Structure 1
Amino acid sequence: KGCSKLKGVRHRLINDPVEAGTFILIAAATRGKVLVKNVEIDFLELPLKKLKDFGVPYQIIGRNAVKVMPWRKLKIDKIQSLPYPGIPSDLQSAFGVLATQAEGPTLIHDPLYEGRLKYLEELNKMGAKIYFADPHRAIINGPTRLLGRELDTFDLRGGAALIIAGLIAKGKTIVNNIYQIDRGYERIEERLQKLGADIKRVKV
């Protein structure tokens, strides 16, 4: 319902739940112990529940922080992206990298967007064992030791997933077209450096 006159209000913008979720999944994939702050817990309720079901231990600290701890056994049967409150399609690719380290097969299903599984082709270059059922579904067989390769970024979230893959791979990984990643993650390499990652941005 409209009104005749508008007035100013003070409104707090929420933190980006996808960015926080990505860093939580970075911690999980690298088996690190990481405290992620400024997390919108309500928006990540199902992804966090799934992580616990998969075997990734974590603690919710206070109202907006998540402490991720190293897992001992990882088992992921299925990852299906759905609109909120489901697993966001924007986190599907990061979950996909995590699935390469899980025991047994994992079904990845993203029915929402075309081309969202293209990053999996790049993971296969690294030695992953991934088979495509159709443009929206793939089977990841793990665990697999990924090997460093030169990779191409096709979209924002897939590019972030390739960085995660590079962090857990043996050897050097080069991720091209990082302007895609910059659209959603500010100075991601600097923040990963603070966590101890051997990563740098280079000009070619």
Structure 2
Amino acid sequence: MPLAGNGLPKFSPRPWPGFPVDGLPQIVALCCKLDGRILIQNWMYESGLEFCRELNMMGANIFICDPQRVIVSGPTSLKNSEVFPPDVIQAIMAIFLLSLSEKVTTIIHGTHFLLRRYPDIINIYQKLGAKIEVLEK
């Protein structure tokens, strides 16, 4: 893994055959649970890391350097929270997955974007044992 100028591991998406930019939000969520720090850069979309504010509201430790770079420090413990993510399906998915990683209550607004892309996601995770309650349709 390449290192940033300050010696931090650095991760960024690349065109095919590199890592796809659509998977970057899930990588950020995963890094919240890993031990250590990493610099994540989304050079493809100017506000592609905007959802990190919501992860911080959940208890994540993410330093937002600028709209395209964040430093994620982990592992972090989540707390009960209510979040209003941007209208980006993969960002909402990352928030959803991170909220399932601990026994906390997370109210996620705007899930209709996620359900439009993954209509059975609630049922699938409930069958796996997740405690999910839909408050609005």
Which stretches in structure 1 are left out of the alignment for 5+ residues?
A: 1-49, 51-75
> How many residues matched?
130
1:146 equivalenced with 2:51 (yes/no): no
Q: 1:124 aligns with which of 56, 59, 77?
A: 56
Distance 1:145 1:170 in 2: 10
Distance 2:121 2:79 in 1: 22
Instruction: Please give the per-residue CA displacement for 1:26-56, whole angstroms capped at 9, x wherever unaligned.
Output: xxxxxxxxxxxxxxxxxxxxxxxx9xxxxxx
Query: Whose relative contact order is higher, 1 or 2, with alpha carbons under 8 Å and at least 6 apart?
Result: 2
TM-score (norm 2): 0.86
The equivalent of 2:127 in structure 1 is 194
TM-score (norm 1): 0.59
Q: Which has the larger radius of gyration?
A: 1
Stretch deviating more after TM superposition (76-85 or 189-198): 76-85
Q: 2:67 aligns with which of 120, 135, 146?
A: 135
Q: CA offset at residue 78 of structure 1?
A: 3.1
- Kindly report which structure 2 residues correspond to 1:16-31, keeping only aligned pairs within 5 A, or say none: none
Which stretches in structure 2 are left out of the alignment for 5+ residues?
A: 2-7
Q: Alignment partner of 2:100: what SS?
A: helix
Q: CA offset at residue 162 of structure 1?
A: 0.7
Q: Given that residues 151 and 176 in structure 1 are in contact (C-alpha distance below 8 angstroms), is that contact kept between their aligned partners in structure 2?
A: yes
Task: Calculate the aligned-residue CA RMSD, in Å.
Answer: 1.8
After TM superposition, what 4+ stretches of structure 1 lie above 4 angstroms from structure 2? none
Distance 1:81 1:184 in 2: 22
The equivalent of 1:81 in structure 2 is 13
Q: Alignment partner of 1:131: what SS?
A: strand
